[in-house]
Amino acid sequence: KSGVKSSILSLILVSALFIVGFREIVRPVIIVIFLQFSIVWSLAYAAVSVGYLNILSVGFVSIILGLGIDYGIHILGRIQEEERAKHRSSVDAIKIALMQTGVGITEGAVTTAVAFFTMMISDFPAIRELGIIAGGSILLAAMAMIFLTPPALYLYSQRRASFSQKS
């Protein structure tokens, strides 16, 4: 129960900080939605790879929320930079943001996952399992941010553009 409560609290706080920090609602919420997809994938991954969650591995959801949102922050921050400072369209900003941050996000995710995977050499089974779950979950979070959020942000920008043209 306390693991679920802490995960929900983490999600609420991360989302609120994300929205306040970027001074908009819709695009941060889109990113948080896909972060939640990665959490669901991570739970499925945990079920397949380990078969269960123990008291230590339950805490991985908060870890993934905290680390996984970073990838979305990098993408959205770069999009905003391209839109505001360089006056690019949302579509061009998304393309540039993904090209310029995608490699860094991938490298960061792989490095972090490897660090977690090294926990697999521990003699303590719970630590080994946490390493397996957290390492795989970091990679899933990065995949969600790189492969799912840009198309969703693109669709949102297209819808916003068509709505503003009708007005």
- pLDDT of 126 higher than 90: no
Give me the count of residues in the chain.
167
Q: Where are the alpha helices (DSSP H) in 51-148?
A: 60-84, 90-117, 125-143
pLDDT for 76: 94
Instruction: List, for residues 37-79, the tens digit of each pLDDT value.
Output: 999 999 899 889 988 776 666 777 888 888 889 999 999 999 9
- pLDDT of 87 higher than 80: yes
- What percent of the chain lies above the pLDDT cut of 90? 61
pLDDT for 60: 79
Q: Is the dihedral of CA 138, 95, 83, 91 positive or negative?
A: negative
pLDDT for 160: 83
- pLDDT of 7 higher than 90: no
